[in-house]
Structure 1
Amino acid sequence: MGKTNRPIIPKHTVLKELHIHVLQRFLVDFVDVSPKLSDGEPYVPEEKIQMDVIHENNQAKDSFADLYLKAVKEYKKWFSNWQAGSPINIQTIRNTIVPLLEAGVESNNHIVKLHHYSTKDEYLYHHSVSSALIASFLAKKMNLERGEWIQVGLAALLSDCGMAKIDPKILFKQGSLTEAEYDEVKQHPKHSYRMVESIPALSKGAKLGILQHHERLDGSGYPFALKSEKLHIFSGIIAVSDMYHAMTSERLYRAKQSPFKVLEEMMKAQFGRFNHEIVQTFITHMTNFSTGTKVKLSNNDLGEVVFIESSQPTRPMVRLQQNEEIIHLKNHLDVYIEEVVG
């Protein structure tokens, strides 16, 4: 009931997106609904749909690349709608993203090749989808339950939705940002949080992850310069995922880097800023080479992995294809793995 003592939405109303938006604005978390839809079909609650129907649909024909490219295309539409002032439609997002997350968590092969998809002109859209994939993959490897790693993935996807509130001239600027422009961009976690705070389908942890994904353990992050004791674990997972994809992608003002070179830099830079357990878990699972893995090195040599030291997972021993010579990359610091080729 509203303050006028009249119902906000009368009984027997067929719920549409507008009604759901109204309920969310009145901070109504849930309502009792009929056991049947307006077309007479039985109503199946959302969680059962996610576990049964969507999962069954995902068994089939769409490849990972198909699912990924569809998600980027849809995200671009959603972002345009948010720029125009539309609210976030979480169910539409789940229907597109959850099957992709389910496919992505199965293998690090998908994750390690994400940087090939992104383009500098459409980086913003690829970054959100790829960060969602990386974050859910990492969350699962940290043994979070299915519901949690899906929430982490959704939070990573929506962590930059507040960019829709930033002046497009700044957002898509070709050159470096001025200090004032960068200060405006640094407000996007607050904008993102405001856009999701009344969505009941997102957990408290997911919302904190969105708000805090640019904070750092030592207080050097933004927008609040929070320190470790105030940061939710979801924000730490998204922070690592966000940084990794940003560094491996081509952007308007920065060239992309090899995933394995980025992982090395993360190993060096993790202390004091990023959660050690999260970074270590990510590196361990991203460098889980098997003997015989074919790789391309930064000097364009091709080879195969023959031995990995656990203490230096990004620098295994490699047998070169051209002359069968075995080199240990830890002794050749100017050479690194460019990518896995087989």
Structure 2
Amino acid sequence: MKTDFLVEGCILSKDIKGYMGHPIMNKKTILTSELIEVLKVFLIQEVSVEKMLIDGERFIPKEIIDKELDDTEDSSDFITHYLKTVQTYKQLFKNWQAGSKVEVAIIRSSLIPLVVKALEEPSAILKLNHYSNKEDYIYHHAISTGLIGALIAFKMKCELADIYQVALGGCLADCGMAKLPPSIFNKATSLSLEENEEVQNHPISSYQMIKDSSIITDSVKLAVLEHHGRLDGSGYPHKMRAKTMHLFSKIIAVADVFHAMTSERVYRKKQPPFKVVEMILHDSFGQFDITVVQALLACFSSFAVGTKVKLNDGSIADIMFINANSQTRPLVRLYDNGDIIDLGSNREIYIEEIL
């Protein structure tokens, strides 16, 4: 696509390199007007972009209608399906804010085919944070939490029906946020103590909104209520401890915090997925079920040898070998000089981004 025809919200599908081979922008970068101008300054005339914008709409280039973006687009494409599902949820969420009931059947019909596709491409699930933005975070978070929860349940060898139920539970866990006053829901600054307490009651609202549905099981309804519970009693809204939490609750709790920590928020920058899972495992030790966290950890083995990554020192490398005992710290080879680094031994270096 010619640079002159780009619009805000385009998602790069390939790396952009300068004349000397140095990277200018990495794939999955969400283009702003400023970044488009940067490309023009570097005299980049053409780039490769996704068919969908970050808001889930089809990309229609300025001045022209690109022939590649007609109705023959591949409906099986995971990211395209994901972004469309986010937009479906967004519209439903706005309906809930207006007082409509939760349409679980509509969510299921959109989400479950996406789960099926996601389990065929597990590494794609762990890269969903690339597509979440501050403005639409809550909608991306719902779909991503469902998908990550489904992947964890799959790794724990749950029955397929239970995997689907976990996905629905993760997706619906925050539907009660629709009941928050606009003054709190749209607030871009820190919440007051009273406002934070009101937010912490959203699991109760979520439960009340879905408790009469016949499509989801009682265990999923319970998981929606309990998904902010913690093993050490520090969770909310009921300070729930492990013995009162269902397995589905524990899975969704881990999926929820993993996506939240790896996504850009109004008040916090996103953190690297590899680092976040280490933080959940070590810094939050005692809060989450260790078998569930280990299942999430095992998901990182789905990244194939050769996967391109960016390290926290700015270096670009590819994964050479993943140790079963240290999935977040594989053996990597640097692109610029071919050096091999064992991230398990070099604790100051870690994978910042999956490219």
Aligned: 1:330 with 2:351: no
1:75 offset after TM fit, Å?
0.7
Specify the code of the residue in structure 1 equivalent to 2:268. R
Aligned to 2:234: 220
Q: CA deviation at 1:315?
A: 1.4
Q: How does 1:1-342 map to 2 (within 5 A)?
A: 61-341=75-355
Please tell me whether the aligned partners of residues 141 and 281 of structure 1 are also in contact (alpha carbons under 8 angstroms): yes
Shift of 1:269: 3.1
CA distance in 2, matches of 1:76, 1:191: 18
Q: Deviations along 1:224-264, whole A, 9 cap, x unmatched?
A: 11111110000001000000000000011110011111111
Instruction: State the alpha-carbon separation in 1 of the partners of residues 303 and 245 from structure 2.
Output: 32
Structure with greater Cα Rg: 1
Q: How big is the shift at 1:270?
A: 4.5
5+ residue gaps, structure 2: 1-73
Distance in 1 of aligned mates of 2:157 and 2:125: 18
| Shift in alpha-carbon separation, 1:91–1:308, aligned structure 2, 3 A | closer
Once residues 130 and 290 of structure 1 are traced to their aligned partners in structure 2, the CA distance between those partners, rounded to angstroms, is: 21
Aligned mates of 1:100, 1:307 — CA distance in 2: 29
**Further displaced range: 276-285 or 105-114:** 105-114
Q: CA RMSD in A?
A: 1.4
- CA contact 2:231–2:287 (8 Å) conserved in 1: yes
Q: Is the 8 A contact 2:300 2:327 kept in 1?
A: no
TM-score by length of 1: 0.79
Give the distance between the partners of 1:81 and 1:324, measured in 2 at CA.
54
Give per-residue Cα distances to partners, 1:123-156, cap 9 Å, x unaligned: 0111001111111111111111111111111111
Deviations 1:142-182 (A, max 9, x none): 11111111111111111001001111211121111111110
Distance 1:79 1:318 in 2: 42
Distance 2:300 2:182 in 1: 35
* 1:294 CA displacement: 2.6
CA deviation vs aligned residue, 1:240-297 (integer Å, no higher than 9, x gap):
0000000000011110011111111112135311000000011111244443333221
SS in 2 for 1:201: coil
User: Do the aligned partners of 1:304 and 1:320 also contact (CA within 8 Å) in 2?
Assistant: yes
Change in Cα spacing, 1:290 to 1:69, as seen in structure 2 (3 Å) is closer
Find the counterpart in structure 2 of residue 10 from structure 1. Answer: none
Amino acid at match of 2:258: Y
Distance in 1 between the 2:239 and 2:135 partners? 30
Letter in structure 2 aligned against 1:173: K
**What TM-score, normalized by structure 2, do the two folds share?**
0.77
Q: CA deviation at 1:76?
A: 0.9
Structure 2 CA distance for aligned equivalents of residues 84 and 291 of structure 1? 48
Q: 1:274-324 CA deviation, whole Å, 9 max, x = no partner?
A: 000000011111244443333221222122223333332211222211111
- In structure 1, give the amino acid aligned to 2:254: V
Contact kept, 8 Å, 2:123 with 2:303, in 1: the verdict is: no
- Provide the identity percentage: 44
Distance in 1 (alpha carbons) for counterparts of 2:333 and 2:80: 34
Alpha-carbon displacement from aligned partner over 1:8-66 (angstroms, at most 9, x marks no partner): xxxxxxxxxxxxxxxxxxxxxxxxxxxxxxxxxxxxxxxxxxxxxxxxxxxx7331112
C-alpha distance in structure 1 between counterparts of 2:320 and 2:82, whole Å:
32
Residue identity matched to 1:285: C
CA distance in 1, matches of 2:221, 2:158: 17
